[in-house]
Structure 1
Amino acid sequence: MAQPMIGVIGGSGVYQIEGLADAEWRHVDTPWGAPSDAILTGLLDGIAMAFLPRHGRGHVHAPSEVPFRANIDALKRLGVTDVLAVSACGSFREEMAPGDFVVVDQYIDRTFARAKSFFGTGCVAHVAFSHPTCARLSEAAAQAGTAAGVRVHRGGTYLAMEGPQFSTLAESRLYREVWGADVIGMTGMPEAKLAREAELCYASVAMVTDYDCWHPGHDAVDVAAVIRTLTQNSANARTLVARLPAHLGDRPAACPCGCDRALEHAIMTAPNKRDAALVARLDAVAGRVLGA
């Protein structure tokens, strides 16, 4: 068994976690710029934890402007092995009601204004992404959520939109009726893709705040109602996080899903053709395979 370090990325309404021993806010420098905020580190029930507020404390980063690459690099640089992302979302399914949590297992990426890879010209890589979340970590998150008293749905397709505006009615109907998405949010991508490139186990818990605008009783997103649900979801998310170490104390030395070996055969650029400057920037996320 390998000792885990759990990284929690908190979305809208989740700006801290309580109960950490030896808690310290740490500033981490990355080659991709500054993360969204300092990272809170400490121990929870003897398990190393790192918490990063995705939008920054005080919610200062819009979805399109979240420094996703810096966030994932910083967590990997600190020694994080398992990343649990929590985020607010809208629901396309009657049974996935406001207040419910959905453990995401698939994505549809509709974002277009964000850097989506650590790799590029000078060091090209293609990681497998058919199963974009870690089944082991997702199950642990589901168990922790259930133990926290939350209604948890195991599995769901997350439609990642660019934002910051909410959907039109036509878009909402398209995503629900034609594409078969279950929930919609603005921050799931490229975060999950970058976590895979960094060989991190990644799970996502989408906290339902509303029914988007497809629902006859919710023909427009009521921001005030969303905020009320968001407040309750945030409290439940903190309880879920507090229960997570009990389900992750014994971590397999190798991830059964292969998340920690995602780059094993992914890098395509020949060693003598690789851009030294880019390789240097990849020291944390890809140092295992690049020899950094």
Structure 2
Amino acid sequence: MTQWTLGIIGGSGLYELDGLANIRREATTTPWGEPSDLLTFGELHGVPLVFLPRHGQGHRLPPSNIPYRANIAALKQAGCTDILSISACGSLREDLPPGHFVMVDQYVDRTEGRERSFFGPGCVAHVPMAKPVCSRLSRLAAEAGMAAGIALTPRGTYLAMEGPQFSTRAESELYRQWGMDVIGMTNMPEARLAREAELPYASIAMVTDYDCWRDDTHSVDVALVLEVMRANTVKAKRLLDGLTATLAGQTRVPGPDGIEAVLDSAIITPPGARDPAMVARLAVIAGRVFA
């Protein structure tokens, strides 16, 4: 594969992208339902992009009701080769202040009740998640952010909580004791599903607040988050501009982590035991291995 097609999942505050060429918007559906909103197709520096606001226009969907499977499947159907997630988050470290960006490289998943897999009865798969993000895309995004003058930490662990309420102080202190760096509500099961769809995934966590662990600051609230979010969104667009300028000059080859072929050794159900209806449904995200 020689052409990058970058899927952008925009989180809180990022509901559209500026400066795209050849824009078109399309409704789509998947075997797992409709995604959060219309897909916006466009180009930046000649690189094809497919943008999807995670919460929908107008921020209509709470974290627990985001159609994560449909979102990833829709981006796969649209021809995306890689996915860049952009999310608001809280900081659990003094040296990660509001306005700081973190390139997530690890997760602790504390979400509950969300559908975490495309696979299931009739066709079982176990994808590896020891390294849950794409090292290449994460590095390129980090380099673009730092080149744009954004305060950015290239590694960090993201605690995924269920929400929609923010943490109690006891929870916030516990997560700090665990060594977590940032906390958010939406990167899981998104990262898991991207891996099952063989899509390299990277996540930019944009700090909006200190959660509620600091005694000398106000507890996190929506008004404070929105104030910082506006500035973070401007910086995220600068990062994306620099990233696509870099990608425009590169030929895309399979990444170093083997993500594009991860299902070769992950599907445990032998062909003769697979449910044809399940296989037909999975063809959207795993058609390569069922061909």
> Does TM, scored on the shorter chain, surpass 0.5?
yes
Contact 2:90-2:210 within 8 A present in 1 as well: yes
Q: CA RMSD in A?
A: 1.1
Distance 2:130 2:185 in 1: 20
Q: Which amino acid aligns with 1:121?
A: P
Counterpart of 1:119? Answer: 119
| Structure 1 unaligned blocks of 5 or more | none
Counterpart of 1:233? Answer: 232
Counterpart of 1:24? Answer: 24
Counterpart of 1:275? Answer: 275
> How many pairs does the alignment contain?
290
Q: Which amino acid aligns with 1:93?
A: R
Distance 1:247 1:103 in 2: 18
| 1:156-171 aligned within 5 A | 156-171=156-171
Distance 2:157 2:11 in 1: 18
Distance 2:125 2:221 in 1: 42
Distance 1:264 1:86 in 2: 29
State whether structure 2 residue 105 is matched by structure 1 residue 105: yes
SS in 2 for 1:243: helix
Percentage identity across aligned positions? 57
Counterpart of 2:246? Answer: 247
Deviations 1:162-218 (A, max 9, x none): 0000001111011111x1110000001000000000000100000000000111223
Contact 1:212-1:218 within 8 A present in 2 as well: no
Q: Which amino acid aligns with 1:76?
A: K
Q: How far apart are 1:222 and its partner, in Å?
A: 3.2
Residues 273, 80 of structure 1: alpha-carbon distance in 2 compared, 3 angstrom cutoff:
same
SS in 2 for 1:284: helix
SS in 2 for 1:264: helix
Q: How far apart are 1:146 and its partner, in Å?
A: 1.5
Counterpart of 1:262? Answer: 262
Counterpart of 1:151? Answer: 151
Segment drifting more, 180-189 vs 245-254: 245-254
Contact 2:200-2:259 within 8 A present in 1 as well: yes
SS in 2 for 1:267: coil
Q: Which amino acid aligns with 1:174?
A: L
Counterpart of 2:69? Answer: 69
Distance 1:195 1:98 in 2: 28
SS in 1 for 2:263: coil
Q: How far apart are 1:219 and its partner, in Å?
A: 5.2
Contact 1:143-1:247 within 8 A present in 2 as well: no
SS in 2 for 1:282: helix
Q: How far apart are 1:251 and its partner, in Å?
A: 4.1
SS in 2 for 1:247: helix
**TM-score, reference length from structure 1:** 0.97
SS in 2 for 1:86: strand
**TM-score, reference length from structure 2:** 0.97
Q: How far apart are 1:138 and its partner, in Å?
A: 0.2
| Structure 2 unaligned blocks of 5 or more | none
Counterpart of 1:38? Answer: 38
